[in-house]
Structure 1
Amino acid sequence: MRAQLQITILSAKLKENKKNWFGPSPYVEVTVDGQSKRTEKCNNTHSPKWKQSLTVIVSPVSELIFRVWSHQTLKADILLGMATLDICQILKANDFKLCEVVQSLQLSTGRNSLDVVGELSVCLDGMQVHPEALAQAESELASLPNGTSRQNGNTINRSSRDSSPSSDSDDWVIVSNDHTANSTDSLSTTSRPPPSMPHRSAASACNTSMKTYTSSSNSSPSELGEAPASDGFSQTVPSQEESGGGAGTTVSSQRANPRPQNTATNPSPKPGAATTTASTAATPATSSVNNCPLPPGWEQRVDQNGRVYYVDHIEKRTTWDRPEPLPSGWERRVDPMGRVYYVDHITRTTTWQRPTQESVRNYEEWQHQRSQLQGAMQQFNQRFIYGLQDQLAAIANKELLNDKPLPEGWEMRFTVDGIPYFVDHNRRTTTYIDPRTGKSSSLENGPQITYVRDFKAKVQYFRFWCQQLSMPQHIKITVSRKTLFEDSFQQIMSFHPQDLRRRLWIIFPGEEGLDYGGVAREWFFLLSHEVLNPMYCLFEYAGKDNYCLQINPASYINPDHLKYFKFIGRFIAMALFHGKFIDTGFSLPFYKRILNKPLTLKDLESIDPEFYNSLIWIKDNNIEECGLEMFFSVDKEILGEVTTHELKPDGGNIQVTEENKEEYIRLVAEWRLSRGVEEQTQAFFEGFNEVLPQQYLQYFDAKELEVMLCGMQEIDLADWQRNTIYRHYARNSKQIMWFWQFVKEMDNEKRMRLLQFVTGTCRLPMGGFGDLMGSNGPQKFCIEKVGKENWLPRSHTCFNRLDLPPYKSYEQLKEKLMFAIEETEGFGQE
């Protein structure tokens, strides 16, 4: 009997480590019966609060394993503590029903460790079993599925990513037969498998525990604790935990149908070696062994807890997964450095990960689903329409030519762009207005001027006006590093706004010196890190996978929040005015607000893709057939309080229909982009305009403003190439070589524009391109072969992927890519 269980991870209290200045970034991983779910991480805290629900499928005799990890950017995550919870015991203690049962679990460093490192609070809900079903499940513990065994009331799951043969014992005795003893890759008896490292398969994304053994080629049979048997096969089963011994079991792969012995005799151990005496009376039965033969060089063993693992004597590693023959079309090879890799002759690709039948099947299913999705979304994903303006101009010109004749003395001519204009020979004047109709001959009430992006010229023009607005002399701002936020707030708000246009003289007490710009640069960087910190509840992240900032609707819990937003408005304007950079950037809709440009439905995609896709679905489908019964009102939750907002007067009683759904989409998009932040936004711009009027930024767009405020990093082209992956292209494909040639010819500003086009931001993480993040975690820069040669390149900012069509020449690639970068509209497509 299996049922669905909802686990809510509430909070945790972790033991503080005084050696580290910053706290951990913990998240919780829940493992049960081969399933693994994890929460989001909380940054820099010893008292994290998640309140996140996870749903798993369990049986009444399953065991929940909770692991609290600390997220690391540049290295593997660190295990802070773990705890186990027996569902059977919890059911018995709560009348066989789990309904919002809160449990406080003691976190320890290991399964059997007594060292308490913290406390974890969880809530269990949604499970109810019959007492008879629980009794029946308990009676079937002898042979649990999915490689799980029951020992002394503890369920051990061998598919857990961190359970290893070394996790529950300190010493090992490996008992083998003569064939194993004679192997040149025999294992040392005192060696212990190190903790497993999680590996993610490229196709199936499954975690596999892999470990490396220490080879000992000169070990004798006595050192290995060998016990020969009469039939050439020996097996030592683990003894009960009460005996205090930790015995290992070795099952050789020399025979296809091994017959386990009822008894096994251990020789006299050497000093320092752990031994175990096993007998039929004191030894529990081990899990059944698969009778299929293992590949050459592999060996099956059982640890002291009855868990089966497999030893690869060729590559000197261990794994929980039973090795399988390579799928059809795959080949195992070794490179000149001795590293093993696998070749897929069907797709002509290579991988370091050993393929399995399941991983190949999952990859093929993913490819099939992906091709179907691309076919269905092709029209939706197409960003650009070719020749539309030329067709409209040709139609308009044809109408002009076929109309009635011009008045006497008038002549119609065409510009080099094909736009008609009219010459009045009587008055010797020219105009775009047609004398026959009184309307402009162009499509947009004037000539179509080609948009030219010259970022440097715009910045120079902006700096010229800043110099004209600047005031003489300087102002001194004295702040302490310990109270940087409050000191800066008090002093900046005490100055007249025009005084903030003077040259800044920043003073840190105890660090007196001359400030020729370096101290001010540091002050802007440190203060921006403080005032824009989401922990102060003034700003929040735009999305789960988007670390750009937007105003937090719940900022009203601070009674002085409007004063702080006015101060932040002054501070951001000062950064632009004095040409300094800040540490963290805002969302693109917020930059458009600074530029006083109208927001559209497309802007919603950058901050809430799911909500945007829902509105697009409503727009493209008949909602009356679906029976959604929507009204012109929306609910919003702030700090646990749900309130209803009417999009129009009496909107709660006006139903959305096919006739008025366009109005509903427009109103709900406007509400989503500005919900609950009208007062905060007004206060921000009040402080901003006091220092720098918004009209001086009218020549910039949102992405250019982000570059000017957050700065541009020097891009390491070698790091970019080294951390780029290709799909349906090879590293030596001519399109890829052309692409990197074009990137080398770019200046740093255009490279940042290209990076912004593909990833959605012009800033790189601290680790460079190797640490680029996507919607599902780390995601490297990717170039994929998609489309035809007449298509424009497209970007998928959620996956850091550039769709590059197979262009026929370098000039064509350069032209299409530059046009896509300069003229693109919208945040992303996926």
Structure 2
Amino acid sequence: MALASSSRLNDPQQHIRVTLHGATGLVKRDLLSLPDPFAVLTVDGEQTSATPATRRSLSPTWNEHFDITVRQSSMINIQLFDHKKFKKRDQGFLGVVNIPAAEAISLATSNFGEIITRDLTMSTNNLPVYGKLLFGFSLPNRPPPPTPHVADPNSFLISPADTAHLSPYATGNPNLGRAQSATASIASDQRSFTQEEEDHTRTPRQPLSSVSLRPSPSPTLAPTAPRFPQPEIGGRPISTSPNPIPNSQGRLLDDESGNPLPQGWERRIDPSGRTYYVDHNTRTTTWHRPGSNVRPATSQGPTRATTASATASATSGGATSPGSGGYSEIPLPLGWEERRTAEGRPYFVDHTTRTTTWVDPRRNLNNQQNAAAQASTTNAQLGPLPSGWEMRLTSTGRVYFVDHNTRTTSWDDPRLPSNVDDNAPQYKRDYRRKVVYFRSQPKMRALPGKCDVKVRRSRVLEDSYTAVMGHSGEDLKRRLMVSFEGEDGLDYGGVSREWFFLLSHEIFNPSYGLFEYSTHDNYTLQINPASGINPDHLSYFKFIGRCLGLAIFHRRFLDAYFVPSFYKMMLGKPVSLGDLESVDADLHRSLLWMLENDITDVLDETFTTTEDRFGELVTIDLKPGGADVPVTEENKKEYVNAIVDYRISKRVKDQFDSFMEGLLELIPVDLLGVFDERELELLIGGMSEIDMDDWSKFTDYRGYEKTDQVIEWFWQCIRSWPAERKSRLLQFTTGTSRVPVNGFKDLQGSDGPRRFTIEKSGDPQGLPRSHTCFNRLDLPPYTDYESLETKLLYAIEETEGFGQE
């Protein structure tokens, strides 16, 4: 997300001053002591300033000024910490406030010297925070107004200059119309001419209760054009002005097009080169040419809904009103409301966060569609970010993520599958959207604690059956910790991936009689109808269902593919004649011919079928009394459907029901229904095909460069190998031979996405080593191609087991 130089030219630097007055109502986490709060101010993670710590206080005061350099796209971050706990893991975090620099610049120019109050919010550590932060923005090159001395953030003195910016509800004067919420202030874009002149002749500070709001006489000054602060884009400033009518000499009495203005109107230009109009009849100013359709003010204060229900209906319905620029046809987002000041300028209220802003939230609606989709899944549902990741906000409030491990940024939440490329097929786009929804559901969240599974490599199936069936369904939803007997490896993902790899080769082995291959030339699996030879086969099918649920719940892959009809049965969908092709191709061709041709006097069949059960031919009725019902041209479709239903589902109904009983203990059936049968196949088994270009593209290097000779030899070697050997290498380094649907950029590590990594490590005479929890290969700096290939091949084919370094 590096910005181009042209973008920086369009976004010049600006200097503003931040005043950190204090905070109030901070959280108290220790029973017997109070925190020592201090604030840390950062801009885009680079400029950092800090206040001194205030000892033992929940309402600290600092009154510290900091001059910072920002751009419109910058983000100002103010964090509060407890100095006594700053060296601990959570750094004594007390809250954070993020302010887009665009908003700060507007506040610095329009609300000069005003104290702003914002609620402190949580960071990514999800620690509860309370309280408010008091701060302000101003311009360094303007003489500062009298700074209120915040002796107590709950009760401080305000000068008469500051009363011009107070809410009418705070002062009790209805003529100072301005809306203000509990967490954000909205100041008028203009100040009256008299106030502008009085700024230079203010009286000393007085308590708020003794402030006189009546304008005091001011010395006679030469009439000048009012100095308007910089409004935000799309703003419609109108301000009252009790200034006397200026001298008519030098007036501009026509508009920018040369058309004459109405009687008593004058056009002026402010120092920024913007045109505004003065109405000497009513002593007001406006940005609008006289005669344009401007909504008149109907009250002295901002319009408000008369009842809470009226407000709710306006916001939930996405109400719009005229005067919202080019967005009047677009409904407001849920929870937003448009209001107007006494002068008719629109502003917007976010009832969700209880904040107000001049910026129309519809302005960035199109740019934030992806962010809105991710925002629908809360941090509580997705869990903490992986180690080394941080969540930040852009100036428009869009969330992005910083990977400090690779020093890169991304719009994609690392806890979710990555975004597919623009040229990716539609099924990948649909699949990703469904996986995001599936993973975000509360029922798919891991429970506290851990679930231990200890097995021997020589008896993987037996030990796994004992361990998995010995736990309840709820216990299996805890963090999975797999260990192999006699091995020291700790399970941070790699050990459990290898366990699933080995287990899937055992439980689906046809020699155990539970599953069988569908045809001789296709290694897809189906339930063996003769599995009943094992008296405990139904218990084993429940075990297999649990293992499949474990793999889906803990985001692992099984090294197996089933016939398409098996996935349809899992979703409760009816099977069809086309599904029979993968089960029995010869029978499928025969039934298809029967449907396409007239069978009168050609076939002599009844509603029965025969099976070979261990050398004995058994006749099964497809319907009650089927042996006495002949198949005719009229009922042949019924016969075909009955054959398909029996061969695919009915003859393995008991086994399948036991399998689903185990699966549904971990995965709710309604969530499985999110996917279709093809997507369910990808969810269970991932992709077996390895794209070498994708693999090399999403590989990181430590100690090596992509152009090093050893790395070039490595990729040359892998590209020359057959697919089976590539899968063995992938299983050796990651614990599984399968690849996520989105490719190697979605490889999972111990705590989230972890790209395949090649690290320069080891003796050139030794073998490569792998760290399956981190998808890392330790590759020694071999001196020739033959040594690299020989050592690598020996490592993936002759080694097994985990150890610790």
Q: Taking structure 2 as the reference length, what is the TM-score of the superposition?
A: 0.33
1 or 2 for the larger relative contact order (CA 8 Å, sep ≥6)?
2
Q: Taking structure 1 as the reference length, what is the TM-score of the superposition?
A: 0.32
Q: Bigger radius of gyration, 1 or 2? A: 2
